[in-house]
Chain A
Amino acid sequence: MSGTFIGMPKFQTAAKEALGNSQQRRNLQHATHTIREKRARVVEELDDWEGLRQAGADIKDNVLSHLDTYLVQLEESLTRAGATVHWAGDAAEANEIVTSLVRATGADEVVKVKSMATQEIGLNEALEEAGIAAWETDLAELIVQLGHDRPSHILVPAIHRNRAEIREIFLREMGHVGTPPPAGLTSEPRELAEAARVHLREKFLRAKVAISGANFAIAETGTLVVVESEGNGRMCLTLPETLISVVGIEKVLPRLEDLEVFMQLLPRSSTGERMNPYTSTWTGITPGDGPQQVHVVLLDNGRTDALADTVGRQALRCIRCSACLNVCPVYERVGGHAYGSVYPGPIGAILNPQLRGTTSEVDQSLPYASSLCGACGDVCPVKIEIPDLLVHLRTRVVDEHRGGMPSGEEIAMKGAAWMFSDHRRWEKAQKGAELGGRMFRKKDTIGRLPGPLSAWSDARDAPVPPAESFRTWWKREKEGQ
């Protein structure tokens, strides 16, 4: 049904293709700049923003250092409130649990609240294989699902589409899976939203089972929290008889009061709003009101591996706001698909290699998918030092390759390091460059470089080395040598 990220090529290859899609680049530039500016305006309003960021980071760090305790506490609270807790070590286990829970209800369809955890484990595909239709009810997720597409943004998964493209997708696909859009649908946002509303209403009213994630899970009370904008979440969380929530184990917060910090950080960082339109909280089962079967699947899927890395673990502070995507100059130009994961952008570049490991081509290339410009770290509401983690993971990728057949890069790096480790060697190398500089003396720049250096000169002129290095000049002028 929807696209998959399995077997993605390395970032560079996918990026090259994406850069050629001029419509997508225009859509992304427009959308990221709009959200970026909105975020900047609402963050500016708060004079204690830095304090809030620090508080957010501190709360999350405390959770991560005592995760075992908080998880057990969460399980006890949930159980006390009438929910059933399941533990899933990986994606396959989580999918199996959810599929059998749905089967047990006899339903052959579910409505879904937008959830990164279920995207991460490929739950829709697993349900489809089991003959269960999973209907995405978030507008952007619906667009992605109807378009047989992949999400390209954490918060706005259809960010790579414009409204003309959305109209086409609705007209082509909606009628096959439910209420069709009205004839004469235009690309007016109001009309598109209304078409989606009518299409979805039928599914909300019919569904017996809903599947959600959670933005936060409160250990003390067993309360789950979903933060959303469209009200589709509220429908899914209240109407069906059975509610299954797949929650990453790092989503725990110790106390309800901690929400005070995160409910200020999250909406401002994600949609650039002071407050999001819908915040739903539920604590197990309330007799006679809402779902009477409540299941919570606590998902590891690589999170404990990330936790084991004392430097890398701060990536688990992430609250999935997308601020880092929206400011990233690489993401803005390449889009989300090239990252080969439901987590694209800077956070994806540090999260995926930690959750999935660094065995695949794409996961090895992700830490390098950044110019280390630092814009992501500056906007992160929980102060994840994304550039530092990118460098940390690059070191991991390089170190894992050591000992085998050295790559051209490794040989070049080792050679350069050997040269720089003694200034006399460096001076000799400079003499060679000076010779080259004298050869090219009549030119200002070099238009074409050989071999791997052509990656530079295909689009950029290269500087000509000078006939005399600074060192040579200094020795002559200042030391009379």
Chain B
Amino acid sequence: MRVALFATCFNDSMWPETPKAVVTILERLGVTVEFPLEQTCCGQMFTNTGYAREALPLVERFADVFGEYDAVVAPSGSCVGSVRHQHATVASGCDRPALADRARTTAGKVFELSELLVDVLGVTDVGATFPHRVTYHPTCHSLRMLRVADKPLRLLREVRGIDLVDLPSAEECCGFGGTFAMKNSDTSVAMGSDKAHHVRETRAEVLVAGDNSCLAHVGGLLTRQRSGVRVMHLAEVLASTERDFAVDNELGDPPAATTTQHTDTEATT
């Protein structure tokens, strides 16, 4: 099976640790992943702001670049949502029926990270260790567009050392909404403040989600509030092993458990 990584343009340029984490997880599971360098952006921002004509070449590029793979994985619910739910619509709306067909075929092979792990690879324990108090925000497009349901939570529950706590009103939107965060910044911040409040109620150290854009919004509020809560992409939590938190040790002690770093790999299937 040829698996391609669609990093997404945001992650590629702003949050490279997230696609790196996807590579780490998949390699640990014995899956070789390719990164076609011709990839750029899925066009979601253009489509959702009303610029379908500008999105069209990106829809075509996506089908060109990823059409040949058996599976494509992306660490973003909203980008996968756009590919699966909007690409064919954009092509049809611009009178490109053949492209719409191609976009539909390609979209059928594109998976959000938790979908690839749970549905395609059949794994919930990816051999991760993350000894922190964590709460999980199910982002809207993962939840209501892709219907990933509890897949990310099933993955998180298998993480060693994790203290996973429920987020109150978890299914409510954080208020990011792409260009909504800029065009309707006051409403966006009002929604995000309520989300940040719920996150703080949980006394979690880390807020986890499957979309860095939503996390940048809530995280931006949490740091402005000096809340001490970190935000982290689901992939980065799932990529963490004992070695990572040993190195992270704030006392600067040398890594204590390096010998165990790869022992979890067998527990993955």
A453 neighbours in B (Cβ, 8 Å): 182
Closest B residue by C-beta to A334: B187
B173 neighbours in A (Cβ, 8 Å): 329, 371, 373, 375
The reply on B114 being an interface residue by CB < 8 A is no
* CA distance in complex: A330, B140 (Å): 14
> Quick one: which of A417, A444, A447, A457 contacts B57, CB cutoff 8 A?
A417
The reply on A240 being an interface residue by CB < 8 A is no
**Which chain A residues numbered 187 to 205 have a C-beta less than 8 Å away from chain B?**
none
Are B47 and A19 in touch, CB under 8 angstroms? Answer: no
Segment with Cβ contacts to A, from B8-16, B160-168, B238-246: B8-16
Interface contacts beyond A370-B180, A463-B14: sample of 4 additional A-B pairs, CB < 8 Å, sorted by A: A398-B52, A417-B54, A459-B192, A465-B14
Chain A 342-366 near chain B by CB (<8 Å), digits 1 or 0: 0000000000000000000000000
Are B54 and A413 in touch, CB under 8 angstroms? Answer: yes
* CA distance in complex: A462, B217 (Å): 8
* CA distance in complex: A190, B216 (Å): 48
The reply on B76 being an interface residue by CB < 8 A is no
> Quick one: which of A334, A396, A459, A469 contacts B16, CB cutoff 8 A?
A469
- Also in contact, A19 and B48, with CB within 8 A (given A371-B176, A374-B141): no
Closest Cβ of chain A to B145, distance in Å, is 6
Segment with Cβ contacts to B, from A91-99, A231-239, A255-263, A419-427: A419-427
Are B14 and A466 in touch, CB under 8 angstroms? Answer: yes
Closest 5 CB pairs of A and B: A371-B177, A460-B220, A394-B50, A373-B173, A398-B50
* CA distance in complex: A390, B17 (Å): 33
The reply on A395 being an interface residue by CB < 8 A is yes
Closest Cβ of chain B to A475, distance in Å, is 8
* CA distance in complex: A453, B35 (Å): 31
A452 neighbours in B (Cβ, 8 Å): 182
> Quick one: which of B47, B141, B191 contacts A333, CB cutoff 8 A?
B191
* CA distance in complex: A138, B186 (Å): 34
- Also in contact, A421 and B61, with CB within 8 A (given A373-B144, A413-B51, A458-B185): yes
Chain A 212-234 near chain B by CB (<8 Å), digits 1 or 0: 00000000000000000000000
- Also in contact, A397 and B187, with CB within 8 A (given A373-B173, A423-B37, A460-B192): no
Are B224 and A459 in touch, CB under 8 angstroms? Answer: yes
The reply on A478 being an interface residue by CB < 8 A is yes
A421 neighbours in B (Cβ, 8 Å): 40, 57-58, 61
The reply on B122 being an interface residue by CB < 8 A is no
* CA distance in complex: A461, B215 (Å): 12
Are B58 and A19 in touch, CB under 8 angstroms? Answer: no
Closest Cβ of chain A to B27, distance in Å, is 10
Closest Cβ of chain B to A403, distance in Å, is 12
Are A461 and B224 in touch, CB under 8 angstroms? Answer: yes
**Which chain A residues numbered 20 to 69 have a C-beta less than 8 Å away from chain B?**
none
**Which chain B residues numbered 20 to 48 have a C-beta less than 8 Å away from chain A?**
20, 35, 37-41, 43, 45-48
